[in-house]
Structure 1
Amino acid sequence: MSRQLQGASEPNPTAAPGNGPPDGGGPGSRAAGPGRRHSAGRLGSVFWASVAVAAVFIAWATLFTENLNSVTESSLNWVTSSFGWSYLLVTLAILVFLVFLAFSPAGRIRLGKDTDRPEFSTPAWLAMLLGAVMGIGLISYGVAEPISHLADPPHGLAEPNTPEAAVRALQYSYFDWGLHAWGVFAVFGLAIAYSTYRKGRRPLVSQLFTPLLGDRADGPIGKVIDVLAVFATLFGTATSLGLGALQINNGLGRLLGIPVGSTAQVLIVAAITAVFTVSAVSGIDRGIKMLSYTSGTLAIAMFVFMMIVGPTVFIANLYIESIGVWAGDFFRMSLQGTAFGGLEWMQWWTYFMLAWWVAWGAFVGIFLARISRGRTIRGFITGVLTVPSLAFFTWFAVFGGSAIHVDLFRGGDIADQTAADFGNAFFATLEHYPLPAATSAIAVLLAVIFFVTSADSNTYVLGSMTSDGSLAPRRPVLVLWGVLTGGTAVTLMLADGLDALQNTVIVTSLPFLVIIAGVAVSFWKDLAADLRGGPAAPPGTTTGTTPGPTTDTAEEAETDAAH
């Protein structure tokens, strides 16, 4: 994700008067409702508590590594065996809630005033959604997950290394990277955009609970919510950094012979941390945007290349069949727990993936909110749920399908290499197709760019969340969060590598799962008041069962075309 995070929501000096919430009203503004103002960039209890918790964790991981591993592993087993079902239930409930909203009268409400229209055309907005998708997960898991499921089919649904296992491999990859992930992001994005653009509140997670908590959202309860949001975001980012380091190390190992191990990975994290911290501090928007466009272009080029040189007909057939099986089994997968075993598999895959999305919920939600002002709730939900999911499905089918074809029909050993080292999968696949050195170099470059841009934006968001929602966090704050993010990733990698990253993100995301459920309930309470035209409706807006006189889809399309 690029630093469009900042630019997309800054008040437009040329906008018509009254075309936004009080005091600018966008994410990062100082508006907090009538009669309440906050100084931009103020460092309060949320900042100090968050920094203290992060510092204590890093010290614990550094000084008492064995104890950390023991505690996180036992905590993981307790969390997943006792509450694993809650990840499944909450994320599915969020999806049902979003579909209901899209088809209800609330779907016509705009994320802003009724007179607001989208800042970006629909094609540009969709391109930004795809930009948000382009992350380290495409390189880390685009081959590794499908090929792992081929060798060890989920829940024993097929014999290993069979055509049926190939279909199941992509089916469960779609489940892990599709609607459930983007449902979590969408509900946060909707709630933040609605709260800030339509209600004029600050862009803090605690402010989303104002309909439920009232003034207590500004008190100790709200502070705890914000600290949990920071903590979840920190560990979600640290996990991504760790995965990125694994990929870069493996790629450089194949290209340049650099040893693959913890020393090289720590050095990679340190180097990239320095880069994204400098970027976050200097605010070189043009450079970061250029990197984002470059990564998108390279990813599309690699995708087209693999479609041409890979087993195109096989990929197309596998894609269609696996989509059909995924759709037919959707609700069974969404509610499949561990009553009859399979806990370890769920910990490694489904529970980890859902926890990772929960941990990233606030950050991606802020990004989505900042590019979606003026859109209808229906248009937002439709775009956010469908476009990124289809992008991931297609990427996994092309690269994962190409790897599956190698192992099933060409005597390959990609699954064995992946089992030996998770970071091998993508590069092992490229070696079976033309120009492996060039494509591997591009993959390493993509991993680096994804690494820098995502961590840069996360550092900015962490700084904003701990600076009272300020759009311009102080430089020392950004530097501190850059160092803490990199330090967290390094200590976890040295503690127990990928296992430590996965264990910690699952354990630390559980409290935030409760917050996500609360966000959905609070958001609905806000919407219900808006539909009734009650006191929760913002001054100067028209509400009712048809919110606003000009909220129809045709007019939005016409406005988008004009952009």
Structure 2
Amino acid sequence: MSEQLTPTKPSLLKVNWQVFISAITIIFLLVGMSFWQPEKMKNTFEDLQSWLISDVGWFYVFTVAVIFFTTIVLGISRLGDIKLGLDHESPDYGNFTWFAMLFSTGMGIGLMFFGVAEPLMHFVSPPLGEGGQITDAQEALKLTYFHWGLHGWAIYAMVAIILAFFSFRHGLPLSLRSALYPLIKDKIYGPIGNAIDTFALLGTVFGVATSLGFGVLQINSGLNYLFDIPVDRTVQIILIIFATSLATLSVTTGLDKGIKILSQTNLFFAIILMILILLLGPTIYLLKAFLQNAGAYFSDIVYKSFNLYAYQPTDWIGGWTLFYWGWWLSWSPFVGLFIARISKGRSIREFVFGVLFVPAGFTFLWMTVFGNSAINIVQSDALSNLAEIAKTNTPIVLFEFLQYYPMSTFLSFLSLVLIIVFFVTSADSGALVIDMLASGGKTDTPAYQRAFWSITVGIIAIALLLAGGLAALQAATVASAFPFTFILLISMWGLVKALRIDHTKKMIAQQSLNTSGNISSTNMNWQKRMRNLMIYPRRTHIERFLNEVLKLSFDTVCEEFTRQGVATTIESGEENSLKLTVSHGSEIDFVYEVKPIAYLKPDFASTEDDSENAKYFRAEVFLKEGGQNYDIMGWTSQDVINDIVEQYERHLHFLHVLR
């Protein structure tokens, strides 16, 4: 199950050549067609998108609802106890850093452009009625919450859970192909897996490229509005080159430096901007509106999840809800893979509630502060043309909105900086994900390989901008959500199946595991047990125990398994660990490993004399699913053999339950 994808030829690049060559070929073909026949491509993909929205929209609504409610169930059920990683692993990133990277990659840039525009557009052009009424203002925020809330984040969360679970807990590649492991097993390493990764790579490349292309159009409009910089292709190409250069610098410095620092900076300045608008505007009204909006959203969440306006037909749903669902789904391989990459070590419950409610809660507050403030301006100022600008010139409406506030120039400049940095963050995280897909899930690729993809996305954005093919590729990206929904639904079924298996194993272990019983059932008297409790071994003591007692125990067990015709191996690992592996062919192998783990001595055990030896070591047991958090230091060889046999009995029972 831990087989790794390897290149088919020697190279300085760490890539899966089947995926790499296929993706590059299709990219050149599609970009070439954008140059050759941009209008034909645009019309073809827009017709496909229109057909999907009109005739298959119900399936999008059904799929997103299933994903949302399944994600909630995973979070609140017993399956939520399972970790996205081994049992002993802890999260790689602190909560603030994790939330910052979630926010910046998942939707940060969307909030800058639609925080003012979308509530205004729903207010003046609601799904039903003529608009402009108080009830339309309330409905506008409910709809905005719905489009940017829990459903969209549930899509990202589900893809991320699937990828993180199979990669970090079961040793599969951190790649979309791993989602199908429960269904096709080792065939994920063949043509099917290559095709799935190629599909995800193309969707990410064109999704990021089209967003970068359209984004510079909006940045250019903002620069023109603030500084009279002309709106033309030259400026836009310069902006793409600038953003790509920053993204390349960020992605080459790695996840723990460039992307992490940019994400934290983004979140910090976004919070400052939101607080300023809150304090400079009608503060009490906005706080009241936030609570009321949130209550209305949650009270209508089931109804809106399935509302297709079947009894009151309207074109509104196709241009808004269905388009949003298609866009969230099409971006989920990219964002889901990135979220999986940064979420190792978290339990599914912690992950679900963190991914769903923290970014969504921030989004709801943001949309209230900007959206309700904008609607309040329109309602109280008869001369305001904000609503009209929102419909006709969306990129400018944020800057027009800020003109109603003190320090408008500073607020506008801060907003422009945020927009630019958000785009850079999306581009560098996109390049990181593309690189993982192209390399078969590897996370240790060379910096120049990640830089290659960052530069490639920038070149594609420039090419499509010059050829007029951005709209065609945007439509194609949204249309790609349709086939991906089938992959995702099948993968969800496989995930639930695999989670139930893991939970079964955990329950079997809990029912039979009694750590103290392992010791007390032996001939060790209570005085010896007491001495073991009061001794804090050094590394040399642990190493002697491993070499003398544990090695003898493993050799004895290995000899017996060999006599029984079962293939068994013993190997040394890092930090002088010792691992026993019993092979079960196509079924899950049994692994029993003992590692020396360092801890700080407790205060009551420390003395002035041992200040230089403040650490002590435990000989802890690790199974295939991770550390079991119990210490066997001081056990006799017979004690260790008994524990191996007991753990092996549980493993056989687990395999029996699976069959």
TM class, shorter-length: 0.7 to 0.9
Give the corresponding residue for 2:435: 463
Measured in 2, the distance between the counterparts of 1:279 and 1:174 equals 32
Letter in 2 for 1:333: K
Which of the residues 29, 33, 45 maps onto 2:2? 33
Letter in 2 for 1:322: N
Query: 1:168-198 CA distances to partner (integer Å, 9 max, x unpaired)?
Result: 1111111111111111111121112211111
Give the corresponding residue for 2:457: 485
Q: Does 1:517 align with 2:517?
A: no
Measured in 2, the distance between the counterparts of 1:192 and 1:341 equals 40
Letter in 2 for 1:33: S
Give the corresponding residue for 1:260: 231
Deviation at 1:449, TM superposition (A): 0.6
Aligned partners of 2:251 and 2:259 also within 8 Å: no
Alignment of 1:32-111 (within 5 A): 33=2, 38=6, 41-111=14-84
Distance 1:33 1:254, change over 3 A: same
Deviation at 1:398, TM superposition (A): 0.3
Which of the residues 353, 374, 377 maps onto 2:348? 377
Measured in 2, the distance between the counterparts of 1:171 and 1:310 equals 21
Deviation at 1:304, TM superposition (A): 0.8
Q: Does 1:143 align with 2:116?
A: yes
Measured in 2, the distance between the counterparts of 1:75 and 1:138 equals 28
Give the corresponding residue for 1:293: 264
Which of the residues 277, 292, 309 maps onto 2:248? 277
Give the corresponding residue for 1:506: 478
Letter in 1 for 2:426: S
Deviation at 1:320, TM superposition (A): 2.3
Which of the residues 184, 201, 206 maps onto 1:213? 184
Measured in 2, the distance between the counterparts of 1:538 and 1:358 equals 38
Which of the residues 181, 200, 209 maps onto 1:238? 209
Measured in 2, the distance between the counterparts of 1:530 and 1:537 equals 14
Measured in 2, the distance between the counterparts of 1:526 and 1:122 equals 27
Distance 1:262 1:307, change over 3 A: same
SS of match in other structure, 1:369? helix
Deviation at 1:437, TM superposition (A): 1.1
Q: Relative contact order (C-alpha < 8 Å, sep 6+): which is higher?
A: 1
Aligned partners of 2:6 and 2:16 also within 8 Å: no
Give the corresponding residue for 2:139: 168
Deviation at 1:220, TM superposition (A): 1.1
Letter in 1 for 2:387: A
Gaps of 5+ in 1: 1-31, 551-563
Q: TM-score, normalised by structure 1?
A: 0.84
SS of match in other structure, 1:202? coil
SS of match in other structure, 2:405? coil
Query: 1:191-243 CA distances to partner (integer Å, 9 max, x unpaired)?
Result: 12211111011101101211111121111111111111112222332343234
Alignment of 1:423-442 (within 5 A): 423-442=395-414
Q: Which deviates the most, 268-277 or 489-498?
A: 489-498
Distance 1:271 1:176, change over 3 A: same
Letter in 2 for 1:337: L
Aligned partners of 2:180 and 2:188 also within 8 Å: yes
- RMSD over equivalenced CA pairs, Å: 2.8
Q: Does 1:421 align with 2:390?
A: no
Aligned partners of 2:38 and 2:472 also within 8 Å: no
SS of match in other structure, 1:38? coil
SS of match in other structure, 1:432? coil
Report how many residues are paired: 514
Deviation at 1:445, TM superposition (A): 0.5
Q: Which deviates the most, 339-348 or 386-395?
A: 339-348
Deviation at 1:539, TM superposition (A): 4.5
Distance 1:490 1:422, change over 3 A: farther
Measured in 1, the distance between the counterparts of 2:302 and 2:47 equals 30
Q: Which deviates the most, 164-173 or 523-532?
A: 523-532
Deviation at 1:50, TM superposition (A): 1.1
Distance 1:163 1:495, change over 3 A: farther
Distance 1:133 1:478, change over 3 A: closer
Measured in 2, the distance between the counterparts of 1:58 and 1:332 equals 42
Query: 1:342-399 CA distances to partner (integer Å, 9 max, x unpaired)?
Result: 5642332212222222122122222322332222111111111111111111101101
Measured in 1, the distance between the counterparts of 2:236 and 2:314 equals 29
Measured in 2, the distance between the counterparts of 1:520 and 1:376 equals 17
Aligned-residue identity in percent: 33
Alignment of 1:277-426 (within 5 A): 277-281=248-252, 283=254, 286-337=257-308, 339=310, 344-411=315-382, 412-426=384-398
Q: Which deviates the most, 242-251 or 75-84?
A: 242-251
Query: 1:119-144 CA distances to partner (integer Å, 9 max, x unpaired)?
Result: 44445544544444562112111111
Gaps of 5+ in 2: 8-12, 509-586, 593-621, 630-659
Query: 1:512-539 CA distances to partner (integer Å, 9 max, x unpaired)?
Result: 2222212211211211221233956984
Deviation at 1:37, TM superposition (A): 5.9
